[in-house]
Structure formats: C-alpha cells, structure tokens
Structure 1
Amino acid sequence: MRIKNILGRIFAVWGAIVFVGTMLLIVIPVGFTYWIPGRKGVEQFRKFGRAWIHSFLFLTGCRIVRRGAENFKKGENYIVIVNHNSLIDIPISTPEIPGPNKTIAKVELSRIPIFGIIYKRGSVLVDRKNAESRRDSYRAMKAVLAEGTHMCIYPEGTRNKTGKPLAPFHDGAFKLSVDTGKHIVPALLFHTKKVLPQHRPFFFWPAKMEMHFLEPVSPEGLDAKALKDKLHEIMEAYYVAHA
C-alpha cells in the first residue's frame, strides 16, 4: 500500500504536467471556435476537446471504453444524464457523448486562467447559490436543446459520497425533459474512482474506465418526479449489475 501511495503521487505529478501541457496546445484552436455560432461551433469545440482528453488518457496510461453509442439516433438530440463519482468524470464523459453537447457546470471553475476559456466554451454556467443564475441557466439549457445540441447533466449534483450506487437525483434534468419533450439517455461511468479517488488528495492511478449509454427514456405521460424516480431506478439497477 505504501508503494502504491508513492507511485500514485508520482503519477499525479505526471498527470498534472500532461494535463496542462496538452491544454496549452488546444486553447488557441478552442478560442477560434467562439467565432463559430450555434451547434457548429460546439461541434468544432468538441473535436478539439476529444483530441485533448484522448491524448491525456493515452499519455497517462488510462483508457476509456464506450458502449451503447448506437442508442443515439441520427437527427435526434437528447438530455444525457451521467452518474458522478470522481473529478475525472466531467473531462472524460462529454467527449464520449456522440455529437455536439454542452454540460451544466459551476461558474467558479470558469474563472481559472486559460482553463476557463475551454471550460466556458463547452458549458452552460450556473451559480447554484444565485436564484437568478439558476433561472438563466435553465433557459440556456432549453436553448441548447432547441438548436439540436445534446445537454449533459449530472443529476446527483456533485460527487456521490453516500456509499450507495447513486446519490439522490435533483429535479432539473427531469423538469427540462418534461418541459421540452426531449428524451433522456442515461449514462453510467465505471471505475473512475480508481483513477482519481475521492479520499486520496493528489493521487492518480492509470486504469481502464467505461462509459455505458442506455436506451433513451421518453417523458411522455410522466411528471418530473415520476421521470426522476424511473431513471434513478434504471440507472441504479444497471450500475449494480455491471459494477
């Protein structure tokens, strides 16, 4: 265990160097995508983001396996909900979603120099302590869906620290689905806690991660609470069966 702790910190130093180095290579191309409006701009941004994250994973000895991409039907866009166990979840999940997508994200991280340029380009920002910001972000998510772009949401709100397969879900993603009629694609991440564990500061461990997309779920005939309960049940059962 002591050797693993030492190696984990060495890998963390290397991971930080690779993350920053590869980020600096794409920040200028990402900046140019701000000039491309709407869905096309998001699509170009995601191409750069995917190249960045895949390069980072390769150079740090990690890889991600994607399953269920066929559940995204051509010409359709969805609300994609993802479980959240580790800080690496957001960087790896949005590049794996087939097609242009934005994610709901905390405004605080957008203030980090250089990284904030990339972070803001792929996000709908929200200050969760500000009611007006929450309302604005909800309208922005509707606009994202209206232009044909996927909207990625982490319904647990933050990393799951409950000891259960999934933490309770917040209402936002399900209200958004009912209001817009957009189907929800449930997505499950596996083994991300091996790479960046919650309770080990400055620790990184190379591992294979997986992202599984399940069949879309329609909001038809359901209110937000019933839809939330249904999706929680589906995702929890799948996670338990495959973890």
Structure 2
Amino acid sequence: MKWLKNLPGRLYAAYALLLFICMMLIMLLPMWLVSLLPAPLDIKYFTTLGRVWVHIYLPLIFCPVRVKGRQYFKSEGPYIIVCNHNSFVDIPATFYAIPDASKSLAKKEMVKTPIFGIMYRVGSVLVDRNDPESRKQSFVDMKEVLQQGVHMLLYPEGTRNKTDDPLKFFYDGAFSLAVETKKPILPTVIFNTRKILPVGKGFYAKPHKIDVHFLPPVEVDGLSMEELKEQVFNTMWDYIKLWQ
C-alpha cells in the first residue's frame, strides 16, 4: 500500500511546513522593520535575521548543516557566489552557510506573494525574465549590490536540476557579471537537499543532513566569459562527482 509507505514522509512534510509558517510569522515584524532601513543596512540586518531563523529551523526539522570552506570569506571584497540548485531547501541552506550579507536573483512576481513579498523585496534583486528591459535593469542592480560590498548569490542552472547529471547547463549571467565587475566567483556546492525533497514525490519530505562546500575563489583576470563559465562548471562538476 503506497499511501501507507509514504505516510511518514507526508507527516514529516506537514510538521516542517507548519513549523516554517509559525517561525515566518514570528520573524515577519522584525523583517518588515529592517526593510525600512536604507541600503545596504537593510540587507545586512535582513540576512542576520535570516541566519538566526534557519539556525533554529533546520536543526528543529532534523536537517543539520555542515559547512566547509567558510574561511574564503575572510578575504576582501564581495563574491559572486555560484551555486548548484537541486531543491527549495537550497535557499535556507545557503542562508545558513554564507556568513556575510548576500542577495540572490528572484522573479519579480514573487513580490506579490503574501508575506513572502517583503522578504523577496529586501533579500533579492528582482527580474521579469520575459522583459528585456527588466533583465538589463537587474544586471545594473546586481552591480550596485556588489559595489555596496554585498555578495550576489546566483544559480547559473536557472532552475532546479531534476536530471541524473551533477549539473545542468550554465547560463551566462553570473559570468558576464563577473567579467564586467572583475569580482571573483566563489563556486559553491550543496549536497543532499534533493534527498529531503525528492523529485516527483509531491507533498513528501524526509530529514537528512545538508553539506555546503565553498570551493576556492576563481579570479576573473585574463579569462573571457566563456572560459570563466567553463572553468567554474568543470570545477563544480568534478567536485560533485568526487563527493557523490
């Protein structure tokens, strides 16, 4: 009986969702107050609140996070953090692991989402992917984020990787941004988040430890956009294959 076999996973998913909603409601007021601050104070305090949230939430749902390579954040200047994308759990995992303020790229329509809209407005650079002007503006906004000393977190695969390969094809955006701003890329690999939310299982989850590994930074000098993209892709692909 399939429904009985999946029952523990559905009960766990309900527990994780209910706890997430409760904690989100608790954090809503301080996050709204932080959103009123001028940049870059808004994102710096916002990410601090976010880290507090996930440092409590992830252990409570029995998904401890282990981090390697955090020492790379001791160097000067912000990074363009390039990360693989396997699950929605990647978002709280990166909040947990990144020790400094960071923004990510998000779809503009997410601002209309009740409650979440505030979080996306502060914590993300927003883009309408169907609007060329919006895409151009998002590039300008990401450069401004880096100029403020805040990291940009980007998922170059574009969407979650549901294939059996370690990575999907990389889009150009993160690497064009790196070449233009001369900011180094910090390749980042997340393991095991797909095991928490298996592909194709619907309302189902199971607890599992999460590993976030920051790899050595890749400097941009002397590399074209295509060369940079290929180097980062190969570095992450080989690392995932090594650890799987």
Shorter-chain TM-score: which interval? over 0.9
The residue aligned with 2:185 is 184
The residue aligned with 1:215 is 216
The residue aligned with 1:108 is 109
The residue aligned with 1:42 is 43
| Amino acid in structure 2 at the alignment position of 1:48 | L
CA distance in 2, matches of 1:57, 1:4: 24
CA distance in 2, matches of 1:4, 1:106: 36
What SS class does the counterpart of residue 40 from structure 2 fall into?
helix
Map 1:117-156 onto structure 2 (within 5 A): 117-156=118-157
Q: Does structure 1 residue 69 correspond to structure 2 residue 66? A: no
What SS class does the counterpart of residue 82 from structure 2 fall into?
strand
CA deviation profile, 1:189-229 (whole Å, cap 9, x unmatched): 00001111121111111110010000100111111111000
Greater Cα offset, 165-174 or 196-205: 196-205
Q: Answer yes or no: is the 8 Å Cα contact 1:66–1:211 preserved in 2.
A: yes
What SS class does the counterpart of residue 105 from structure 2 fall into?
strand
Query: Normalising by structure 2, what TM-score?
Result: 0.96
The residue aligned with 1:194 is 195
What SS class does the counterpart of residue 206 from structure 1 fall into?
coil
The residue aligned with 1:5 is 6
| Amino acid in structure 2 at the alignment position of 1:172 | G
| Amino acid in structure 2 at the alignment position of 1:18 | L
What SS class does the counterpart of residue 102 from structure 1 fall into?
strand
Structure 1 runs (4+) greater than 3 angstroms displaced: 1-4
1:164 deviation in Å? 0.7
The residue aligned with 1:23 is 24
CA distance in 2, matches of 1:119, 1:25: 17
Percent identity over the alignment is: 42
Distance 1:4 1:124, change over 3 A: farther
- Aligned length in residues: 243
CA deviation profile, 1:83-107 (whole Å, cap 9, x unmatched): 0011111232134212110001122
CA distance in 1, matches of 2:75, 2:92: 24
Greater Cα offset, 49-58 or 202-211: 49-58
CA deviation profile, 1:112-169 (whole Å, cap 9, x unmatched): 1012211221100111111111111110000000111000000000001232100010
CA deviation profile, 1:41-61 (whole Å, cap 9, x unmatched): 211111111111222212211
Map 1:92-107 onto structure 2 (within 5 A): 92-107=93-108
CA distance in 1, matches of 2:98, 2:59: 19
CA distance in 1, matches of 2:133, 2:96: 29
CA distance in 2, matches of 1:186, 1:128: 24
| Amino acid in structure 2 at the alignment position of 1:24 | L
Q: Answer yes or no: is the 8 Å Cα contact 1:94–1:103 preserved in 2.
A: no
1:23 deviation in Å? 0.3
CA distance in 2, matches of 1:58, 1:109: 27
The residue aligned with 2:230 is 229
Query: Normalising by structure 1, what TM-score?
Result: 0.96
What SS class does the counterpart of residue 62 from structure 2 fall into?
coil
CA deviation profile, 1:164-186 (whole Å, cap 9, x unmatched): 10001000000000000000000
Distance 1:6 1:172, change over 3 A: same
